Amino acid sequence: MRTDPASAFQARVAKHAALADPARLRIVDLLTLGDFSPTELQAELGMPSNLLSHHVRALESAGLVTRHRSEADKRRSYIRLTAGALEGLAPGVEHDATRLLFVCTRNSARSQMAAALWRQVSDIPPTSAGTHPADRIAQGAIDVARRHGVELPEVPPRKLEGISGGDFVITVCDNAHEELANLGGIHWSVPDPLRLNTPEAFEVAFNDISHRIHGLAPRLYAA
């Protein structure tokens, strides 16, 4: 495999230069947990939109973040860290939880896969729920979990109801996140595999969630 040490070094320099700004470092710290819309970042940082745009463009130029349109409200976009952007630089353990609660609209695919994947990497118990639950788990979710050797219990989707103070809530669906604007927690903007309903779409969603879970697990400890 050919490598380009000079290019790799310059990429590292660009990332360190981008992260040297306190506001950009705070943005990246937030994005290590989940995806944020520009409006949500403005609220977190107390920053005007033009200044936030400047910082996000700098982070994009350094290859640290990307953005994409919401599947729900097309006027909204979400900003996320690029895969592997912060290898060796991410913050350490700093959040406690008694339970992980994964939420999507129908609780038939993404939230179910997330809970199953979480069980493999952490002793903190997970559960999942939906804002408008389906009748059954999507067959595509069952199939992709089986292909990866992940046990996905075939339990009926359930409706989101009580949330305890120790729950670490993660929405894995743009619709659920935007419907539950005051829920709190963090958001992972994972495309809905049921829109295409193909093995490839479920594979993409599964791998996206798996990558995020492996990044988050070392940062949480049992309350």
Query: How does pLDDT run across 84-97, given as a tens digit for each residue?
Result: 887 766 666 668 89
Residue 7 in this model has a pLDDT that exceeds 90: no
- pLDDT score, position 182: 82
- pLDDT score, position 87: 75
- pLDDT score, position 88: 63
For the domain spanning 95-222, the CATH number is: 3.40.50.2300
Mean pLDDT of the chain: 92
Mean pLDDT, range 156-173, rounded to an integer: 93
Cα atoms in the 13 Å half-sphere on the side-chain side of 134? 18
Residue 124 in this model has a pLDDT that exceeds 50: yes
Which of 104, 107, 64 lies closest to 87 in space, CA to CA?
A: 64
Contact 97, 168 (CB under 8 A): yes
pTM of this structure: 0.80
Question: Any idea which fold 7-81 has?
Answer: Arc Repressor Mutant, subunit A (1.10.10)
- pLDDT score, position 76: 95
- pLDDT score, position 89: 64
Residue 187 in this model has a pLDDT that exceeds 60: yes
Residue 71 in this model has a pLDDT that exceeds 70: yes
| Percent of the chain residues past pLDDT 90, beyond the cut | 77
Q: Write down the domain spans for the chain.
A: 7-81, 95-222
Contact 63, 85 (CB under 8 A): yes
As a whole number of angstroms, the distance between CA 147 and CA 136 comes to: 19
- pLDDT score, position 34: 95
Residue 82 in this model has a pLDDT that exceeds 60: yes
Mean pLDDT, range 8-28, rounded to an integer: 90
- pLDDT score, position 155: 86
What is the SS3 string spanning the chain? CCCCHHHHHHHHHHHHHHHCCHHHHHHHHHHCCCCECHHHHHHHHCCCHHHHHHHHHHHHHCCCEEEEECCCCCCCEEEEECCCCCCCCCCCCCEEECEEEEEECCCCCHHHHHHHHHHHHCCCCEEEEECCCCCCCCHHHHHHHHHCCCCCCCCCCCECCCCCCCEEEEECCHHHHHHCCCCCCEECCCCCHHHCCCHHHHHHHHHHHHHHHHHHHHHEEEC
Structure tokens at 131: 């804002």
Residue 41 in this model has a pLDDT that exceeds 90: yes
Mean pLDDT, range 104-110, rounded to an integer: 97
As a whole number of angstroms, the distance between CA 200 and CA 52 comes to: 35
Is 26 or 164 the better-scoring residue by pLDDT?
A: 26
Residue 3 in this model has a pLDDT that exceeds 50: no
